[in-house]
């Protein structure tokens, strides 16, 4: 067993004096800004996962600004605050600079020392080979997030590993996509196929768009408001979109499924559903009708706190605008453990309104048909991500990150090695810290590829510094969208320090593992140029324009009179799911009452703030200036009962005895008295993140009551309760 200590990142070498990072814009060396030679280089943004395209402008080679690309329909030529602050990531003085290797010092304490790339890569491939010989190549898994990960998934597949997982599934949109796949045979994609630009009625269930800043989505919602579309927001908190909505339904936390069933009840009871669409495309209507009969608005009122008349009025509003009515599927959908079923209910409601495949509802996405660079086929792995959870979670069609960590613990563990790319697991997977520590003790190799000294690096044997998105080529952006388009990410600057692009790291590892035939390029630009030439463009052209739009080849909506084949077993929309029934799950969503907070405790509610993406931008100097810390939203009734002042610092404690960092109170009517709210991504413990270290509180460490979705393994995060601890008390 390799007992590994968690390496406190303060012990990293080269810490140096705490310099305050310069703000970039306008701080370059020019005596007269504006007098130099201006050039621009295309990129697409990596500050979040929306991938807006833009240009980076330089003056005499010095960074100047990032601006949207007017040809980009993803972003309509506009970047959000985080996107324009991308240079702050590039210039961050706390970036990882050199490969680091775990060593045990003379005093017996473990620490990192700097290593050359050759030494670090040889060390990794040496261990990978011994794991492959002793156990099999399939026993090396990868946990990843972010676009650049594709270089490493290629490496893993070439090596014979089939186990990869990203938090985007079991910590984010997995339940939603599984629920929609079970119903319509397809998920939602990213960007989501929501046709808000044409919707006449939009229902947001906990989607706090406006705080959740996915660029194109915010713009289409704003346009819907301009067109006077009816917006109905269901949120226990008076969120930004709630404030602009015609109806705000301040629902009791965790009871959304009851409301969704009551809406179905009203649509069917009053004959307001799209009878023709349902007859033509769906199966199981009679069973659904019988199922929802007992969910009357009067009964559901007692669960949700939403008045029966308001439930009826909003259902009628939805029907009046259908099929241009969108019940938004949400994105971060791991809430209470019944999340696939809640997402199924959202899918079914969309089906009753006839909005899937219809203008103003959910459109049909289209990508560019971009040929893959010709390479030999991958070997078939001996096992894949399902080995991590076995027969549990039968509908997990992608890797379950938490299950992979659990399957890395102990001498008999399935996994023997782990590569972590671009995901800060201790803050990302709720309640995972004890398992992460235990996995570290068992695994023979832990490699972390990151740009920053995030908490996860403290668990590694080897830390590899990747350069930022502004210093590298990645694959072309080719997302399913309203309009097919390609976008280019290319190096604007040379990689700083000794950081390297992901494609280079993957190729170097591949060559050392004898996988040369999977990495025949010298530079990744060769791959992009080859692909672009297959679709009538070239790297040279894209380096000038950044984005190329292509015409659609298929209609965006169903065509009247033409039959539709859904990718479900029945070929129809499945209101009743035989697939779920066969696995012992409810074939139609059932409501169960959520756990209530114990006396003196509150629901721990959390979400996004516009200025940051999780914890990955909080150390960015430009964004830190805008929003240095998160705050704790507390209802005035709670504040006065506990004598808490607006602006004072408190801590939160959970029933398992975890106590948070300090967090500043914001007393506001916008939160219910049974809940408190904070933005996720703060309370970093890594001292090497010098700006953001110890600032604000971390929601994830308080999440020890994880509600696992038995259908697909998602980690429900909303069943956690906290009490407020005053510093002065
Ligand atoms: N408690 C709690 N947990 C959550 C959520 C929540 O709201 N609350 N939200 C969930 C959701 S919706 C999601 S999608 C996930 C997100 O989970 P993650 O994607 O893990 O999010 P971050 O914490 O921002 O971690 C990103 C990591 O990638 C690194 N990184 C940034 N850029 C690069 C790069 O170019 N290359 C490499 N190699 N690394 C890079 C950062 O330094 C950081 O370590 O979290 C989930 N977990
Ligand atoms: N600025 C910014 N934007 C982002 C991100 C970011 O990090 N920063 N991350 C992106 C990612 S990966 C994701 S997944 C999305 C997530 O964004 P969304 O999918 O929109 O949001 P959630 O985090 O699920 O939901 C947060 C909202 O749910 C409400 N809520 C809490 N409990 C309940 C409940 O029981 N019922 C109902 N109806 N509502 C409830 C909260 O009050 C809050 O308003 O945001 C994306 N956009
Ligand atoms: S929404 Fe903002 S942060 Fe996300 S990709 Fe677009 S510009 Fe970048
Ligand atoms: Mo997410």
The residues, ordered by sequence, that sit 6+ positions from 682 with a Cβ below 8 Å of its Cβ are 615, 618, 629, 630, 661, 663, 692, 695, 696, 697, 698
Taking the CA atoms of 644, 647, 649 and 653 in sequence, report the sign of the dihedral they define.
positive
84 alpha carbon – ligand 3 mean position (Å): 8
Q: Say which CATH architecture domain 188-365+565-582 belongs to.
A: 3-Layer(aba) Sandwich (3.40)
137 alpha carbon – ligand 1 mean position (Å): 27
Q: What's the token pair of residue 688? A: 């090497």
| pLDDT at residue 34, rounded to an integer | 76
- The domain locations on the chain are 188-365+565-582, 602-726
Dihedral of CA atoms 37, 43, 47, 48 in degrees, nearest 10, equals: 150
Torsions phi, psi for 188 (to 5 deg): -100, -25
Task: Report how far residue 33's alpha carbon sits from residue 171's, in angstroms, rounded to the nearest whole number.
Answer: 45
Q: What's the token pair of residue 190? A: 């990213």
212 alpha carbon – ligand 1 mean position (Å): 15
Q: What's the token pair of residue 367? A: 């990508």
Indicate the DSSP class of residue 371.
P
User: Which residue, judged by its Cα, is nearest atom 8 of ligand 3?
Assistant: 83
| pLDDT at residue 22, rounded to an integer | 39
Q: Are strands 53-59 and 62-68 parallel, antiparallel or unpaired?
A: antiparallel
Task: Report how far residue 600's alpha carbon sits from residue 606's, in angstroms, rounded to the nearest whole number.
Answer: 19
* Residue pair 447/418 in contact by the 8 Å Cβ criterion: yes
Task: Report how far residue 58's alpha carbon sits from residue 492's, in angstroms, rounded to the nearest whole number.
Answer: 9
Q: What's the token pair of residue 65? A: 């600004």
612 alpha carbon – ligand 4 mean position (Å): 13
687, 161, 232: which is closest to 454 by C-alpha? Answer: 687
What angle do the packed helices 256-269 and 308-321 form, to 10 degrees?
60
CA–centroid distance for 661 within its chain: 24
227 alpha carbon – ligand 3 mean position (Å): 25
Q: What's the token pair of residue 92? A: 């961050």
Taking the CA atoms of 641, 643, 647 and 650 in sequence, report the sign of the dihedral they define.
negative
Ligand that comes closest to the CA of residue 429: 1
SS3 call for 615: coil
Topology (CATH) of 602-726: Barwin-like endoglucanases (2.40.40)
Task: Report how far residue 567's alpha carbon sits from residue 590's, in angstroms, rounded to the nearest whole number.
Answer: 24
| pLDDT at residue 27, rounded to an integer | 42
- Tell me the helices (H) and strands (E) count for the chain, helix number first: 23, 26
Burial of 57 (0-12, 13-18, 19+ CB in 10 A): middle
691, 638, 625: which is closest to 667 by C-alpha? Answer: 638
Q: What's the token pair of residue 584? A: 């012992």
Q: How many CB atoms lie within 10 A of CB 600?
A: 9
Q: Compute CA distances 43 → 83, 96, 158, 451, 491, whole Å.
A: 11, 22, 28, 18, 8
| pLDDT at residue 23, rounded to an integer | 42
Q: Are strands 663-667 and 573-574 parallel, antiparallel or unpaired?
A: unpaired
Peptide bond into 191 cis (omega under 30): yes
Residues touching ligand 2 (Cβ under 6 Å) are 48-49, 172, 205-208, 212-214, 234-237, 239, 251, 253-254, 256, 330-332, 605, 607-608, 610, 612-614, 718
Shortest-distance atom of ligand 2 to CA 681: 7
Ligand that comes closest to the CA of residue 46: 3
616 lines ligand 1 (CB under 6 A): yes
Task: Report how far residue 525's alpha carbon sits from residue 522's, in angstroms, rounded to the nearest whole number.
Answer: 9
687, 461, 683: which is closest to 8 by C-alpha? Answer: 687
Only one residue has tokens 């044997």, namely: 461
Give the containing element (helix H, strand E) for 313: helix 308-321
171 lines ligand 1 (CB under 6 A): yes
Residues touching ligand 3 (Cβ under 6 Å) are 45, 47-48, 50-52, 75, 79-80, 82-83, 213-215
Q: What angle is formed at CA 48 by the lines to CA 504 and CA 702, rounded to 5 degrees?
A: 110
CA–centroid distance for 116 within its chain: 33
Shortest-distance atom of ligand 2 to CA 594: 35
Burial of 728 (0-12, 13-18, 19+ CB in 10 A): exposed
Q: Ligand 3: which of 42, 44, 45, 481 to mutate, judged by most atoms within 8 Å of the beta carbon?
A: 45
609 alpha carbon – ligand 4 mean position (Å): 13
User: Which residue, judged by its Cα, is nearest atom 42 of ligand 2?
Assistant: 237
| pLDDT at residue 31, rounded to an integer | 55
Q: What's the token pair of residue 264? A: 């179905």
Q: Partners of 664 in the beta sheet?
A: 631, 649
Q: Ligand 2: which of 145, 608, 630 to mutate, judged by most atoms within 8 Å of the beta carbon?
A: 608
What angle do the packed helices 117-134 and 502-512 form, to 10 degrees?
50
Q: In the sheet that 38-44 helps form, which strands lie side by side, from edge to edge? A: 38-44, 53-59, 62-68
Q: What's the token pair of residue 642? A: 């506990």
pLDDT along the chain (729 residues), means of 10: 63 37 42 82 97 97 95 93 97 98 93 98 98 98 98 98 98 98 97 96 97 95 96 97 97 98 98 98 98 98 98 98 98 98 98 98 98 98 97 98 98 97 98 95 97 98 98 96 96 98 98 98 98 98 98 96 96 98 98 94 98 98 97 98 97 97 98 97 97 97 97 98 87
Give the containing element (helix H, strand E) for 528: helix 525-534
311 alpha carbon – ligand 4 mean position (Å): 29
Q: Reduce the secondary structure of 639-669 to three states and give it as a string.
A: HHHHCCCCCCEEEEECCCCCECCCEEEEECC
- Note every long-range contact of 623-628, with CB atoms under 8 Å and residues 24 or more positions apart, other chains counting: 623/81, 623/82, 623/85, 623/88, 624/691, 624/692, 625/23, 626/81, 628/691, 628/692, 628/695, 628/696
Task: Report how far residue 304's alpha carbon sits from residue 637's, in angstroms, rounded to the nearest whole number.
Answer: 21
Give the containing element (helix H, strand E) for 457: none
Only one residue has tokens 């990032």, namely: 66
427 alpha carbon – ligand 1 mean position (Å): 8
Angular region, 657: left φ>0, alpha ψ -120 to 50, beta rest? left
Q: What's the token pair of residue 155? A: 């490496």
Q: Ligand 1: which of 146, 468, 614 to mutate, judged by most atoms within 8 Å of the beta carbon?
A: 614
Angular region, 337: left φ>0, alpha ψ -120 to 50, beta rest? left
Kindly provide the b/e burial profile for residues 20-37, where b requires at least 16 CB atoms within 10 angstroms of the residue's own CB. ebeebbeebeeeeeeebe
Ligand that comes closest to the CA of residue 626: 2
Task: Report how far residue 424's alpha carbon sits from residue 24's, in angstroms, rounded to the nearest whole number.
Answer: 26
CA–centroid distance for 490 within its chain: 23
User: Which residue, judged by its Cα, is nearest atom 27 of ligand 2?
Assistant: 206
* Residue pair 442/498 in contact by the 8 Å Cβ criterion: no
| pLDDT at residue 100, rounded to an integer | 98
Residues in the chain: 729
Task: Report how far residue 603's alpha carbon sits from residue 720's, in angstroms, rounded to the nearest whole number.
Answer: 6
Q: Compute CA distances 380 → 5, 138, 160, 377, whole Å.
A: 35, 10, 6, 9
């Amino acid at each position: 067993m390799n007992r590994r200590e968690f390496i406190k990142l303060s012990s990293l070498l080269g810490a140096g004096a705490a310099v305050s990072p310069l703000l970039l814009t306008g701080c370059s060396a020019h005596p007269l800004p504006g007098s130099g030679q201006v050039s621009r280089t295309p990129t697409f943004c990596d500050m979040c996962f929306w991938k807006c395209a833009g240009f980076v402008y330089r003056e005499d080679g010095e960074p100047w600004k990032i601006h949207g690309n007017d040809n980009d329909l993803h972003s309509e030529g506009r970047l959000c605050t985080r996107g324009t602050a991308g240079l702050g990531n590039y210039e961050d003085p706390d970036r990882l600079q050199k490969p680091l290797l775990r060593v045990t010092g003379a005093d017996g304490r473990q620490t990192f020392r700097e290593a050359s790339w050759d030494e670090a890569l040889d060390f990794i491939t040496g261990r990978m080979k011994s794991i492959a010989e002793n156990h099999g190549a399939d026993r090396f898994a990868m946990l990843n997030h972010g676009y650049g990960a594709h270089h490493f998934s290629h490496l893993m597949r070439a090596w014979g590993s089939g186990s990869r997982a990203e938090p985007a599934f079991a910590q984010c949109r997995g339940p939603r996509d599984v629920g929609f796949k079970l119903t319509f045979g397809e998920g939602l994609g990213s960007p989501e196929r929501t046709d808000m630009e044409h919707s006449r009625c939009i229902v947001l269930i906990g989607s706090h768009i406006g705080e959740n800043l996915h660029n194109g989505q915010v713009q289409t919602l704003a346009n819907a408001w301009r067109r006077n579309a009816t917006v109905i927001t269901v949120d226990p908190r008076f969120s930004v979109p709630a404030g602009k909505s015609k109806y705000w339904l301040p629902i009791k936390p965790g009871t959304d499924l009851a409301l969704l069933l009551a809406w179905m009840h009203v649509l069917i009871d009053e004959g307001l559903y799209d009878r023709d669409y349902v007859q033509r495309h769906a199966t199981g209507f009679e069973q659904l009708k019988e199922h929802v009969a007992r969910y009357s608005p009067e009964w559901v009122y007692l669960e949700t706190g939403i008045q029966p008349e308001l439930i009826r009025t909003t259902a009628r509003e939805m029907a009046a605008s259908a099929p241009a009515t969108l019940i938004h599927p949400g994105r971060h959908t791991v809430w209470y453990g019944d999340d696939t079923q809640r997402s199924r209910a959202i899918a079914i409601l969309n089906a009753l309104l006839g909005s899937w495949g219809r203008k103003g509802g959910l459109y049909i996405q289209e990508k560019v048909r971009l040929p893959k660079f010709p390479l030999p086929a991958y070997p078939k792995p001996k096992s894949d991500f399902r080995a991590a959870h076995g027969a549990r979670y039968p509908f997990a069609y992608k890797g379950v990150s938490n299950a992979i960590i659990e399957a890395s613990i102990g001498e008999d563990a399935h996994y023997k090695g782990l590569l972590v790319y671009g995901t800060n697991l201790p803050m990302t997977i709720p309640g995972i810290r004890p398992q992460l520590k235990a996995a570290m003790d068992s695994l023979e190799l832990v490699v972390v590829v990151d740009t920053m000294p995030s908490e996860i690096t403290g668990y590694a044997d080897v830390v590899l510094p990747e350069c930022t998105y502004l210093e590298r080529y990645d694959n072309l952006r080719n997302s399913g969208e309203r309009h097919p388009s390609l976008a280019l990410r290319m190096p604007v600057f040379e990689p700083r320090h000794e950081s390297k692009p992901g494609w280079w790291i993957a190729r170097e590892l591949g060559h050392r593992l004898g996988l040369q035939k999977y990495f025949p390029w010298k530079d990744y630009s060769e791959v992009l140029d080859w692909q672009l030439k297959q679709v009538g463009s070239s790297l040279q052209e894209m380096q000038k324009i950044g984005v190329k739009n292509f015409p659609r080849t298929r209609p965006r909506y169903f065509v009247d009179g033409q039959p539709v084949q859904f990718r479900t077993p029945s070929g129809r929309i499945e209101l009743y799911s035989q697939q779920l029934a066969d696995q012992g799950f409810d074939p139609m969503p059932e409501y169960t009452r959520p756990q209530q907070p114990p006396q003196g405790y509150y629901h721990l509610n959390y979400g996004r703030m516009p200025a940051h993406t999780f914890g990955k931008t909080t150390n960015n100097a430009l964004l830190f200036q805008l929003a240095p810390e998160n705050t704790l939203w507390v209802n005035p009734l709670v504040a006065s009962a506990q004598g808490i002042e607006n602006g004072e610092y408190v801590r939160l404690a959970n029933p398992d005895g975890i106590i948070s960092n300090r967090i500043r109170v914001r007393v506001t009517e916008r939160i219910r008295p049974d809940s408190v709210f904070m933005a996720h991504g703060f309370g970093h413990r890594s001292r090497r993140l010098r700006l953001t270290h110890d600032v604000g509180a971390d929601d994830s460490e308080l999440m020890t009551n994880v509600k696992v979705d038995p259908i697909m393994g998602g980690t429900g995060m909303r069943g956690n309760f906290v009490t407020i601890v005053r510093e002065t008390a």
